[in-house]
Amino acid sequence: MTTAKYLSVFARLGVQTVAVPYDITQISRLAEDLDSSFSKMLLLTASLSTDHGERILKRSG
């Protein structure tokens, strides 16, 4: 499960080649941090785009 989460972050970013450490026990924390950070980035981006879009509509209205 950890390896899948680790690889999914890079797949969502469009990375075609990813190295997986030989000792996958070392990536557990990294996989969690990457996944969490990526999710937060998507939420922030969505929030900023919505706020920006609403401001433009208010100005043009």
Indicate the domain borders of the chain: 2-60
- 3, 27 in Cβ contact below 8 A? yes
pLDDT score at 43: 85
- 24, 3 in Cβ contact below 8 A? yes
Tens of pLDDT, residues 1-52: 788 888 888 898 899 999 888 887 878 888 888 889 888 988 888 887 776 6
Dihedrals φ, ψ of 2, to 5°? -60, -45
pLDDT score at 31: 82
pLDDT score at 51: 64
Q: What is the reported pTM?
A: 0.60
Alpha carbon separation from 25 to 8, 20, 36, 39, 58 (Å, rounded): 17, 11, 18, 22, 51
pLDDT score at 57: 56
- 9, 34 in Cβ contact below 8 A? yes
